[in-house]
Amino acid sequence: MAQRCAVTGVGQTRHDNKRIDVSQFGLVREAAIRALEDAELTWSDIDALVIGKAPDLFEGVMMPELFLAEALGGTGKPMLRVHTAGSVGGATAIVAASLVEAGVHERVLTVSYEKQSESNAMWALSIRVPFQQAVVAGAGGFFAPLIRSYMRRSGAPEDTGIRVALKDRRNALKNPYAHLRFPDITFEQIADSPMLWDPIRYLETCPSSDGACAMVLASESVAKRARRTPAWVHATAMRSEPTQFAGRDQVNPQAGKDCAKDLYAKAGISDPRREIDCAEIYVPFSWFEPMWLENLGFADDREGWRMTYEGVTALDGDLPVNMSGGVLSSNPIGASGMLRFAEAANQVRGLAGEHQIQGAQRALGHAYGGGSQYFSMWIVGSEPR
């Protein structure tokens, strides 16, 4: 039987497109200090560090965890680096939680980050490889055809994506850490924004952000002594599958479905739509909200768009999604998954500020990465399970 584990501290940076005021050290430090202060702990209380980020290529520093350890008080402590592409922020939190659940450590500090201003991650992975047709279309170019495929199979109204973007951009105005803020944003502004990769418009796309997120994962005995309410980890799950294979459903990947099914079984959830109070899911392009609602079992296949369309996923809907403004509003890639997990935790702690869902008791944090091929998820609750 695994030990109980809880989130007792959450911290994040102000996200922006260029945080040239800080080094990579300073960026992770800003998030970590806030998590420690929230948990009312000091560096010396921490037993181990788990650090995550997307490919080293994005900043051009090989194995940055080696030099980041001292900025995170890691001298003389176990330190581990996690990498699972865009899902890494979630996977990193899960590894940290596992160390507590396994009874190895009592207090683990987990930190993830990206400093996109040090390079151009949108194009970093779009290189010309010998003997292959070079698409060189960036991340949006990879996902646009999947979205078009979803639109065809679901018959969703063309403006579904615009509605998602409008909701998330309005939610971001309630989040002091969000990178993109468009006061008085309108449906028309999004609809009229340039078409970047058909059908993805500029304002339906995530930004490139510098930012970090940190959490303190603690054992039951530590969490019960915490002054602020902890978020109890009810279940975690990860799955992966290859980018391409014959018969792969890239729009609704099997790995994501399996991951969610496993997660709900571990958390004792039989009807996620009813039993989960709110969800932060990884939506870098607006249309991924309805796509993931189906993949996560919140809606039947081809029906996810109805939840968006009918306002179910709005802050005042019965399953609010991306209360923080989501990846559409802040995207420090390596940290983006952890930000989802952290928002879920703060919701059940009742500490989500202006975008708090009243009475949230059980929340989902979700991240995906690669070519929709890595999934990491957790369920957190206001009470131990």
Residue 122: CB minimum distance to other proteins, A: 12
What is the DSSP-derived secondary structure letter of residue 202? Answer: G
Name 355's Cβ contacts closer than 8 Å, sequence gap at least 6.
Answer: 171, 174, 175, 315, 323, 324, 325
For Cα atoms 25, 29, 33, give the angle at the middle one, nearest 5 degrees. Answer: 170
Q: How far apart are CA 202 and CA 286, in angstroms?
A: 10
Residue 130: CB minimum distance to other proteins, A: 4
Nearer to other proteins, 75 or 133 (CB): 75
Residue 133: CB minimum distance to other proteins, A: 14
Do residues 27 and 211 touch, judged by C-beta distance below 8 A? yes
Nearer to other proteins, 72 or 281 (CB): 72
Q: At what angle do helices 88-101 and 333-349 cross, to 10 degrees?
A: 50
Nearer to other proteins, 130 or 155 (CB): 130
Name 244's Cβ contacts closer than 8 Å, sequence gap at least 6.
Answer: 250, 371
- The residues of the shown chain that bind other proteins, judged by CB under 8 A, are 18-26, 29, 43, 57, 59-60, 70-75, 115, 117-119, 124, 127, 129-131
Nearer to other proteins, 130 or 359 (CB): 130
Residue 49: CB minimum distance to other proteins, A: 10
Nearer to other proteins, 118 or 303 (CB): 118
Assigned token pair, 41: 């702990």
Residue 150: CB minimum distance to other proteins, A: 32
Nearer to other proteins, 60 or 103 (CB): 60
Nearer to other proteins, 19 or 257 (CB): 19
Per-residue DSSP letters for 272-330? HHHH--EEE---SBTTHHHHHHHHTTSS-TT-HHHHHHTTTTSTTSSS-B-TT-HHHH-
Residue 81: CB minimum distance to other proteins, A: 18
Nearer to other proteins, 74 or 272 (CB): 74
**Measuring CA to CA, how many Å separate 384 from each of 7, 219, 235, 259?**
11, 11, 11, 22
Residue 41: CB minimum distance to other proteins, A: 12
Residue 53: CB minimum distance to other proteins, A: 15
In the chain the first and final C-alpha atoms are separated, in Å, by: 13
Q: What are 263's strand-pairing partners? A: none
Nearer to other proteins, 43 or 202 (CB): 43
Which alpha helices (H) appear in 77-159, and where do they start and end? 88-101, 121-124, 138-154
Residue 77: CB minimum distance to other proteins, A: 10
**Measuring CA to CA, how many Å separate 10 from each of 32, 142, 145, 272, 349?**
8, 33, 36, 25, 10
- Please give the helix or strand (H or E) that residue 347 lies within, else none: helix 333-349
